[in-house]
């Protein structure tokens, strides 16, 4: 049976199966200490845990230091969501591999967001993502990195063989060292007006392209 495995090889500082979803200022749930990514009107970005919010300002904490952002200076707020596992189950992914260090725990919030998907798919934590890649190579599983640096699109590739798909972070993508271990580097064709897709959207597109090709 042909296998499909996703390797979430994120940057050293932030590695997980999370994506971000845009949320309105007034709809932020202050009861949950959510991780927010705020883009200000001067195009600078701030990321941290929600501390408090009122009608005029929002306070987030990063590395133990609080930062205050006035609502009038906020262009966009995005909330971290664990939205990938549910899609993985729906698209017949055989397993998920995530780094052990700096990776978010699979807790009750994850169980809820994934609609119980965490119980329906193997999730492995590894100490070194490169060792996992080398292991898959030894099993003759193709290593495919998803990156805008790719020469071919996902629609030009034959996914009917066993593959391990590497997804990078939304901020930095797949690292150069991991790209060097890949058998192929593929991209998703998008409008030039947009720099990139979020991880959740990219994940869904490539997953269901694989389903289409395999006629599940």
How does pLDDT run across 78-108, given as a tens digit for each residue?
876 656 778 888 888 888 888 776 555 555 5
> Of 45, 61, 80, which marks where a domain is finished?
80
Q: Out of 58, 80, 102, pick the residue that ends a domain.
A: 80
Query: In whole angstroms, what is the distance from residue 174 CA to residue 170 CA?
Result: 9
| Residue 114 shares a structural domain with residue 161 | yes
179 and 115 inside one domain: yes
Pairwise CA distance, residues 154 & 128, whole Å:
27
| Tokens 């999370």 sit on residue | 18
Tens of pLDDT, residues 4-51: 665 553 222 223 455 667 788 888 887 777 788 888 989 888 888 889
Predicted confidence (pLDDT) at residue 115 exceeds the cutoff of 80: no
- Given 42, 59, 80, which residue is the final one in a domain? 80
pLDDT (average), residues 53-82: 87
Cα–Cα distance between 157 and 153 in angstroms, integer?
7
Domain identity same for 74 and 178: no
Q: Do 128 and 181 lie in a common domain? A: yes
Percentage of residues of the chain with pLDDT beyond 90: 16
Give how many domains the chain has, as a whole number: 2
Q: Which of 26-40, 62-76, 130-144 has the lowest mean pLDDT?
A: 26-40
Comparing CA positions, the residue from 210, 168, 201 lying closest to residue 7 is 168
Distance (Å, whole) CA 187 – CA 196: 10
Give this prediction's pTM: 0.67
Average pLDDT over every residue of 193-215: 84
Rounded Cα–Cα distance for residues 71 and 24 (Å):
11
pLDDT at 165 over 50: yes
- Tell whether 119 and 149 lie within a shared domain: yes
Q: Are strands 152-153 and 95-99 parallel, antiparallel or unpaired?
A: unpaired
Q: Are residues 74 and 86 in the same domain?
A: no
Most confident of 46-60, 97-111, 162-176: 46-60
Task: Identify the pLDDT of residue 157.
Answer: 93
Contact 185, 150 (CB under 8 A): yes
Question: For residue 145, what pLDDT is reported?
Answer: 92
Give 3-state DSSP helix, strand, coil % of the chain, rounded to 5: 25, 35, 40
At 56, which CATH number?
Answer: 2.30.30.100
Same domain, yes or no: 64 and 164? no
Asked if residue 168 and residue 110 are part of one domain, the reply reads yes
Do 120 and 42 belong to one domain? Answer: no
85 or 65, greater pLDDT: 65
For position 200, what pLDDT does the model report? 79
In terms of domains, do 137 and 204 share one?
Answer: yes
Cα separation, 86 vs 203, in Å, equals: 11
> Which domain does 149 fall in, by range?
4-18+82-214
- Are 166 and 132 in a shared domain? yes
* Same structural domain, 36 and 126: no
Mean pLDDT of the chain: 79
CATH code where residue 147 lies: 3.40.1280.10
pLDDT at 183: 92
């Amino acid at each position: 049976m042909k296998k499909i495995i996703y390797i979430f090889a994120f940057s050293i500082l932030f590695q997980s199966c999370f994506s971000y979803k845009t949320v309105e200022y007034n709809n932020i749930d202050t009861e949950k200490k959510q991780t927010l990514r705020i883009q200000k009107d001067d195009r600078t970005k701030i990321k941290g845990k929600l501390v408090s919010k009122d009608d005029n300002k929002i306070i987030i904490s990063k590395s133990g230091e609080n930062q205050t952002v006035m609502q009038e200076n906020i262009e966009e707020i995005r909330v971290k969501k664990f939205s990938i596992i549910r899609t993985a189950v729906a698209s017949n992914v055989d397993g998920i591999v995530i780094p052990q260090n700096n990776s978010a725990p699979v807790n009750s919030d994850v169980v809820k967001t994934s609609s119980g998907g965490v119980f329906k798919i193997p999730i492995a934590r590894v100490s070194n993502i490169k060792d996992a890649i080398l292991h898959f190579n030894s099993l003759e599983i193709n290593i495919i990195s998803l990156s805008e640096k790719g020469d071919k699109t996902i629609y030009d590739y034959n996914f009917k063989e066993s593959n391990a798909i590497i997804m990078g972070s939304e901020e930095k993508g797949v690292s150069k060292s991991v790209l060097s271990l890949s058998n192929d580097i593929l991209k998703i064709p998008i409008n030039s007006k947009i720099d990139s897709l979020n991880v959740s959207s990219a994940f869904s597109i490539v997953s269901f392209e694989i389903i289409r090709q395999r006629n599940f």
